[in-house]
Each structure stands twice: as C-alpha cells, then as structure tokens.
Amino acid sequence: MGNCSQGCQHYFCRPKNTNVRVSLPAVCFVWQVAMIILFGVFVRYDKEADAHWSETKKEENITSNVENDFYYRYPSFQDVHVMIFVGFGFLMTFLKRYSFGGVGFNFLIAAFGLQWALLMQGWFHSLDPVTGYIYIGIENLINADFCVAGCLIAFGALLGKVSPVQLMVMTLFGVTLYAVEEYIILNLLHAIDAGGSMVIHIFGAYYGLTISWVLYRPNLHQSKRLHGSVYHSDVFAMIGTLFLWMYWPSFNSAICYHGDGQHRAAINTYLSLAASVLTTFAISSLSAKRGKLDMVHIQNATLAGGVAMGTAAEFMIQPYGALIVGFCCGIVSTFGYLVLTPFMEKCLKIQDTCGIHNLHAMPGVLGGVVGAITAATASNAVYSPEGLINTFDFQGNFATRSVTTQGAYQAAAMCVALIFGIGGGALVGLILRFPIWGDAEDDNCFDDEVYWELPEDEESIPPILEYNNHMVTKNPDICESNFSVDQS
C-alpha cells in the first residue's frame, strides 16, 4: 500500500480502469460552466432578496423587517443544510477504509445537485411566465437541499461500489427525475408531503436500490475484508446519525406554511424520533447473543421515526400518534437490518451498502400510508374549518376537494414516487453500466485507495531524519504503530 500510493506497478497493485483523471474534471468543469450559463439566462433573486424589496415593502405596506420570509425559514434552512452535508456525509463514514469517499463524495454530489435542483425545481415551481425568469429565495434553497437528500439516499445503496463520475451522473438524473415527480405529486395530485416521506425517501430509496440491482457485483465478497467498520469509524458515523436525528424536526417543518403547522410538525417529529430510539435498542439487543447492541442499528434505525413522520408531519395525529409511528418504525427498520438486507443481497441480488431499504424505503412507505389514512380521516372538528384549509391547502382548484379524496390522492402520490424511483433507477442503472465510468473491480470496493491519495505511512521517513528523531530512535516500534493507524 505504502508503495501503491507511490504508483507501484506490480500486476496486483495496478487497479484497472479506475483512472478518473480525465472524466471527473471534465464532468465537473462542463457541468459547472453549464450551471453558470443557465443561471445567467434563467435565475434571478426573488422579490424578498432583491434590492427593490425596500420599495416592494412600501407598496405592500409591510412595516417590519422580520416579515421577510428569510427570518421565518433561515434557522430551519441551516439545520437542513447541516443534515445534508454533515448528517448524510458522516453517516457514510462508517466503513473502515471508505470514510474519505463517504464524506467527500457526499460533499461533491450535494454541491452539484443543489445547483441543478435550483434550476429544475425552479422551472416547475418558480418560473415566471412573463419574464421567463426563475426567482429564487430562501425557500428555493431549502427545496434544493431536499431534492439533494433524495440523491444522497440513493448514494447510500451504492456506497463504495461506484466511481465519483457515476455518482455525478446518478445525481444529474436523480435531481431531474425528482423535480418531475415532485411536480406531479405536489402540484398535479396536490398531495401533502411536508417532510418528503414519499417525494424524498420513497423515491430516493427505490432509485438507489434499483441502480444497485442493475449494477449487481457477483464477486463483491472479494472486498469483504473492507466491508465493515472499525471502532473509530463507527464513532464518526454517530456524528452523522445524531445531527440527522436532532435536526429532523427542522427537516419536516422547514416548508410548512403556518405558525401552527411548523410548530406541530416539529413536535410530531421530535416525539416520533424519540420512540424509534427505544424500539431500535430493544430489537437490536433482543436479536443478539447476550443482548449485545449493534452499532449499525443504532446509527440507522433510530432515524426511521423521522422518515415516517414526513408526510403526516403537520397533520393533527396527536402526540401519541407520533409515538406510535416511531414505535413501529424502530421495530420495522431494525428487523430490516437483521433479516431483509441479507435476504435482498442473497436472493434479490440487491447490494445495499447502508441499508437504505430499512432506513428510507420501508419507513417512507409507512409514512405515506399514515399520511393517506390521517388525511382521509381529517375533520373540521379536529382541524377547525380554516385549519383544515390551511393544512391541506384546499384552495384554488382544490377548494372543493374532500378529505377522503385527499386520502386517495395521497395513496396515488406514493405510487408515483415508487414508479419514478424504480423506473428511473432502471434507466440510470443501465447508463451506469457502460464500462467508461472508472468504477473499481469487485475485489477493490470500499477502498479509498482507489480514488484518494491516502496519507503516507511512516516508513517513508528518510533515514537521515531518524537520527534527529529521538522519539523514533527511542522506540522503533512507533514507526509500525503510526504506520498501523495510517492504514486503518
């Protein structure tokens, strides 16, 4: 390894066709230039971010600065932003030798994805037919982060098995599909999905799982030595877990409109998450010899409660309803890690590195079902007439829609998300199978060595230094020791 990192040419040391020196920079440059051009043609500040705001305020008789949408949404936006980059990023550092790839590629595709998402979502939601401009404000930034989340979920299934170029392509298509799916679900079907159980989690999870199925690696067991964690990599992953867990109430409430809606969404999510922690610990302990807990479950299944509260976040399901949702999710998700993931890999040929089927797919479906049922059973008594209109946005073309119909459309929305995820995943999977993307061999997966310059090991100290290096001269084994950590 020490040698490899310095370009050893032994047969075994020469990884094949994983050279991305041309493709990765090309993709990054071309797409970033395209972004600049498209933003130049289409994107401008929305009125609340434009310097004309001071005049707009006069026209609209707005007196207080705090009326600017920025002050309502910015704190939640920052929480969501942390979930995207630190939450997802560090959750994927759990592999012993793929921490650079986990947090680094997450960083890359998120930074690209959010630019593309601003455009795609803008075309569908914020395009002004008169001027032909997309006007962006804080809410667009939040929605872009949401869109990116869908692709990062898919990344979880592919972690360690694909090249950064493939991830960029996966993100390009993923964001595009997401924007269309989101438009159909939120605008055409007029389904409610504040926290994206369907739009984000079902779509993202099945998108990633289908790609992983198409890219099935029969000999992945040859990388088994690296397909696990070490002590400290599991602690790093807990950073991601906790920031996702803590900020999930912001995720589910970020784009709820009304004071009480955001307030309620935060409470529901907070409670649901708390409940899923307890059932996760329970099942994890119950399933193991001598009741020993498994870090994989704690890192992932504890979050299922937040996923499942996405759709019904601002509904009046009452605190105990949120607890029940979290209770079930913790159980379902942990069982998934115990039973389904091995089964899917063995029988369905789906290799799901992070177990997104357990953390996002199943809880997402559960969340969609809960949302459909609670919507269908909503009533004026519980919501108050005005509250019902606010919560389900029964206005304009949808002023006359009944809650039962709404429930049906919620269910339909779930199917749309599923279809887009599976259909889109199959398509993109085929594209990613072209042998041009520089992915690694089956015996070389989950290894940062392939795409990253890893830190040098101590052996490369010039002998002359050893003389001044009293530490090393005193205990020679330190070389090995630093070296050892170096490799970890």
C-beta of 104 vs 423, nearer to a second copy? 104
**Minimum CB–partner distance for residue 158 and a second copy (Å):** 18
Residue 134 or 205: the one with the smaller Cβ distance to a second copy is: 134
How many Å separate Cα 35 from the centre of its chain? 22
Buried b (16+ CB within 10 A) or exposed e, 148-186: bbbbbbbbbbbbbbbbbbbbbbbbbbbbbbbbebbbbbb
CB nearer a second copy, residue 138 or residue 200: 138
CB of 348 to a second copy, least distance (A): 24
**Nearest approach, Cβ of residue 310 and a second copy (Å):** 18
Question: Cβ 422 to a second copy, closest distance in Å?
Answer: 29
Cα distances (angstroms) measured from residue 370 to each of 245, 308, 310, 321 = 20, 8, 10, 10
> Among residues 210 and 299, whose Cβ is nearest to a second copy?
299
Q: Are 326 and 310 in contact (CB under 8 A)?
A: no
Q: Report the amino acid identity of residue 384.
A: S
Which is nearer to a second copy, 90 or 203 (by Cβ)? 90
Of 346 and 470, nearer to a second copy (C-beta) is 470
Closer residue to a second copy (CB): 184 or 255: 255
Which is nearer to a second copy, 53 or 124 (by Cβ)?
Answer: 53
Q: Are 48 and 66 in contact, with CB atoms under 8 Å apart?
A: no
Beta strand 43-45 with 134-136 is parallel
Q: Is 44 helix (H, G, I), strand (E, B) or coil?
A: strand
Q: How many residues does the chain have?
A: 488
CB of residue 416 to a second copy, shortest distance in Å = 27
- Give the nearest distance from C-beta 437 to a second copy in angstroms: 12
Residues 349, 219 contacting (CB under 8 angstroms): no
Instruction: Identify whether the C-beta of residue 357 lies closer than 8 Å to the C-beta of residue 340.
Output: yes
* 154 phi/psi in degrees, rounded to 5: -60, -40
163 and 98 Cβ atoms separated by less than 8 Å = no
Min CB(451)–a second copy separation in Å: 6
d(CA 365, CA 98): 30
Least CB distance to a second copy at residue 358 (A): 17
Least Å from the CB of residue 210 to a second copy: 26
| Residue 9, phi then psi, degrees to nearest 5 | -110, 15
Neighbours of 379 (CB within 10 A): 10
Cβ-based nearer residue to a second copy, 85 or 409: 85
Task: Give the CA diameter of the chain.
Answer: 85
